[in-house]
Chains A and B, each alone.
Chain A
Amino acid sequence: MKKIVRFLNDIFIIIVLFITYIFFIGVSWIVYKLQSFFSNKSNVNSYWLNNKEDFSIDELKSAY
């Protein structure tokens, strides 16, 4: 009996995690699609980005 309960419990956790995952990805996707819909690139004069990156030696110790 205990084994069955544990098994069902595991299944339940997996389902919850999966639903959370789908929800998270789904919401992100909807936000992205909405952003894309409202952004109009046809009037853009330049696609260059102005990055201000820090290449100091301490910053380069990070893998991110």
Chain B
Amino acid sequence: MIILGISAYYHDSAAAIIKDGEVIIAIEEERLTRVKHDNTFPFKAIEHCLKIAEINIRDVDAVAYYEKPLLKFERLLDNFIKTYPISIVPFIKGIPEWLGYKLKIEQTIKKKLNFKKDIYYLPHHLSHAAAAFFPSSYNKSAILTVDGVGEYQTTALWFGSNNNIKLLKSIDFPHSLGLLYSTFTAFLGFKVNEDEYKLMGLSAYGKPIYVDRIKKIIDYKENGSFNLNLKYFSFRDSFKMWSLYFEKLFGHPRKEKDKITKRNKDLAASIQKATEEIYFKILNYLYKLTKSENLCLTGGVALNSLANGKIYKKTPFKNVFIFGAAGDSGSAIGAGLYIYYQLNKAIDPKPIKNLYFGNNYSNFETEIILKENNVNYKKYTDESKLFTKVANLLKNEKVVGWFQGNMEFGPRALGNRSILANPKKRWMKTRVNIIKRREQFRPFAGSILQEKVGEYFEVPSNHYSPSMTFCFQVKKEARDKIAAIVHIDNTCRIQTVSKDNGRYYKLIKEFYRQTGLACVLNTSFNLKGEPIVESPTQAINDFFKTKMDYLVINDYLIKK
């Protein structure tokens, strides 16, 4: 049975093909259109998926759409009435796109894709819950979905058992932990739905002295439920996130180009702390409801890796699974998996081991592209020699673009479309930030051999984090060894790399043999404001635009 999962029209549109319960291919629209967080209907992604899967739309048995558009529109109308007459301008501006195409999903799928069979519409948070639960290896698990907003829900507690997912409790719009965090993101001069991770990175530089003031704008209970004080927010009735009351409480907002002040850092630290406090209260309540030691997490807020790293200490959960594509793109997979397992109740869900769902370029294709671009290269026919060479380059503090195999799905580069560097010296952080044209306060993640993770980081035994969704404290004795990836609060976002990661594992293993370091600095292969590279051509372009030293595409080593 083949299911096509689709997410669209909010942010990070994506498509996924699920065949007999396995993800054959999945890709975000942005990787093909090169528009970051592209939210248009994913025609290109769908076409690409069908092509790679070598099927026709007629071979697809069902389409699973990741939310219920009419219910979402109802929320828009409901909100308009509640905020009338202030909201009239955003309402009038928003209506044409709803009437023009957002409500016409069925028409788009049937007419433009020429699809004649069943279309299913899942509630937004159910798609998230399915994306978290089915790929995990748990038979039973508590599930938390938490993001900005779906149709109505913003936070939901679930219990997953084999093929079933049951909703336990929820909190509805406009009360949203995601929108609260996004309000501070915008207030501090960053982009909503895009730069929340910058706010998280910035939080380490400040002191959480505004937490008491934050408690004035959100009332939360011991069981984690919360209610925003709406007079401080404007997102319901304008294009602005906060109101004048908010400015009275927290001062002037920062503009994008303004210098980051101590107050900005303290505000970032405060919202991070308040978010964590609520997050852990919710999780403790979820544990109380389900009594399960397994936890699956998803939704945009679940990408807060700083909070995720503290779950083991702050809650009774023993096993935590976070789907790497926890945002809306992952819901294309979640929706597809849910429909598959509902239509095939007798089949047990299969865990997903990695997120390498994208396209793969062969050596043959790579060589043609290199020749077309007049690029000098050296081909390594012996794989081990390539690893020895690249590990040696990293050892000698060269920055290497690393392009291998199938592209990652989701926001993180996991060693197939990555920029790699030696994490030993602190200045390497500055250098790579310059190469990527990023703000200097932003930290880098580390990829570490699974078997060595306990030597460097304060992680629970057998911790497994292949999708870079947790930050952990770096052990005191390891801080000088990997100074470039130790953030100011001594944490680091980590990716554990095992043999499942193929060539990436072998490269780090070789780097370890040469240097005694089992970890490399890993950042996504893209420039500021661009999506991660998808093809060798894009990789070559970015390589020559920056001060990266070397580029490796499959078996080919390229030097400037």
Do A and B assemble together?
yes
By a CB distance below 8 angstroms, the chain A residues around B157 are: 48
Check if A63 sits within 8 Å of B105, measured CB to CB. Answer: yes
Q: CA of A57 to CA of B61 in the docked complex: distance in angstroms?
A: 14
Pick from B81, B123, B126, B225: contact of A48, CB below 8 A: B225
B27 within 8 A of A: no
By a CB distance below 8 angstroms, the chain B residues around A57 are: 120, 339, 342-343
Check if A47 sits within 8 Å of B226, measured CB to CB. Answer: yes
By a CB distance below 8 angstroms, the chain A residues around B74 are: 64
Measured CB to CB, the nearest residue on chain A to B74 is: A64
A49 within 8 A of B: yes
B560 within 8 A of A: no
Q: CA of A26 to CA of B82 in the docked complex: distance in angstroms?
A: 10
Binds A, one of B32-40, B164-172, B302-310, B450-458: B164-172
Pick from A26, A46, A50, A64: contact of B68, CB below 8 A: A64
Known: A28-B84, A45-B221, A63-B68. A51 touches B167 (CB 8 A): yes
Binary contact track A32-55/B, C-beta < 8 Å → 1, others 0:
100000000100111111111101
Check if B170 sits within 8 Å of A48, measured CB to CB. Answer: yes
Pick from A25, A49, A63: contact of B69, CB below 8 A: A63
Check if B223 sits within 8 Å of A46, measured CB to CB. Answer: yes
A6 within 8 A of B: no
Measured CB to CB, the nearest residue on chain A to B91 is: A25
Shortest distance between the CB of B416 and any CB in chain A (Å): 34
SS class of chain A's interface: helix, strand, loop or mixed? loop
Residue with the highest number of chain B CB atoms closer than 10 Å, among A44, A55, A62 = A55
Shortest distance between the CB of A2 and any CB in chain B (Å): 33
> Chain A interface residue count: which class?
20 to 34
Check if A61 sits within 8 Å of B121, measured CB to CB. Answer: yes
By a CB distance below 8 angstroms, the chain A residues around B227 are: 41, 44, 47
A5 within 8 A of B: no
Q: CA of A45 to CA of B169 in the docked complex: distance in angstroms?
A: 14
A29 within 8 A of B: yes
Check if B120 sits within 8 Å of A61, measured CB to CB. Answer: yes
Shortest distance between the CB of B83 and any CB in chain A (Å): 9
Q: CA of A4 to CA of B387 in the docked complex: distance in angstroms?
A: 84
Check if B225 sits within 8 Å of A64, measured CB to CB. Answer: no
Check if B223 sits within 8 Å of A63, measured CB to CB. Answer: no
Q: CA of A26 to CA of B170 in the docked complex: distance in angstroms?
A: 30
B71 within 8 A of A: yes
Check if B84 sits within 8 Å of A25, measured CB to CB. Answer: yes
Q: CA of A41 to CA of B165 in the docked complex: distance in angstroms?
A: 31
Pick from B84, B121, B170: contact of A29, CB below 8 A: B84
By a CB distance below 8 angstroms, the chain B residues around A47 are: 171, 175, 221, 225-227
A1 within 8 A of B: no
B118 within 8 A of A: yes
Q: Which of B65-85 contact A (CB under 8 A)?
A: 65, 68-71, 74, 80-82, 84-85
B60 within 8 A of A: no
Binary contact track B344-377/A, C-beta < 8 Å → 1, others 0:
0000000000000000000000000000000000
Check if A48 sits within 8 Å of B167, measured CB to CB. Answer: no
Check if A46 sits within 8 Å of B84, measured CB to CB. Answer: no
Check if B68 sits within 8 Å of A62, measured CB to CB. Answer: yes
By a CB distance below 8 angstroms, the chain B residues around A32 are: 81-82
B394 within 8 A of A: no
Check if A49 sits within 8 Å of B172, measured CB to CB. Answer: yes
Measured CB to CB, the nearest residue on chain A to B175 is: A47
Q: CA of A44 to CA of B219 in the docked complex: distance in angstroms?
A: 10
Q: Which of B151-182 contact A (CB under 8 A)?
A: 157, 165, 167, 169-172, 175
By a CB distance below 8 angstroms, the chain A residues around B171 are: 47-49
Measured CB to CB, the nearest residue on chain B to A53 is: B167
By a CB distance below 8 angstroms, the chain A residues around B342 are: 57, 60
By a CB distance below 8 angstroms, the chain A residues around B121 are: 60-63
By a CB distance below 8 angstroms, the chain A residues around B81 are: 25, 28-29, 32
B549 within 8 A of A: no
Q: CA of A5 to CA of B329 in the docked complex: distance in angstroms?
A: 55
Shortest distance between the CB of A21 and any CB in chain B (Å): 11
By a CB distance below 8 angstroms, the chain B residues around A64 are: 68, 70-71, 74
Shortest distance between the CB of B230 and any CB in chain A (Å): 10
B119 within 8 A of A: yes
Check if A55 sits within 8 Å of B170, measured CB to CB. Answer: no
B532 within 8 A of A: no
Shortest distance between the CB of A15 and any CB in chain B (Å): 18
By a CB distance below 8 angstroms, the chain A residues around B82 are: 29, 32
Q: CA of A63 to CA of B85 in the docked complex: distance in angstroms?
A: 28
Measured CB to CB, the nearest residue on chain B to A62 is: B121
Q: CA of A18 to CA of B13 in the docked complex: distance in angstroms?
A: 37
Besides A32-B81, A51-B170, A55-B165, 18 more A-B contacts (Cβ < 8 Å) are A26-B84, A28-B81, A28-B84, A32-B82, A44-B227, A47-B175, A48-B157, A48-B171, A48-B225, A49-B172, A50-B169, A53-B167, A57-B339, A60-B120, A60-B339, A60-B342, A63-B71, A63-B105
29 example contacts (A-B, Cβ-Cβ < 8 A) are as follows: A25-B80, A25-B85, A28-B84, A29-B82, A29-B84, A29-B85, A32-B82, A46-B221, A46-B223, A47-B175, A48-B169, A48-B223, A49-B169, A50-B169, A51-B169, A52-B167, A55-B122, A55-B126, A57-B120, A60-B121, A60-B339, A61-B118, A61-B121, A62-B70, A63-B65, A63-B68, A63-B69, A63-B105, A64-B68
On B, residues with C-beta under 8 Å from A are 65, 68-71, 74, 80-82, 84-85, 105-106, 118-123, 126, 157, 165, 167, 169-172, 175, 221, 223, 225-227, 339, 342-343
Top 6 nearest A-B pairs (CB, nearest first) are: A47-B225, A64-B70, A48-B169, A28-B81, A60-B120, A29-B84
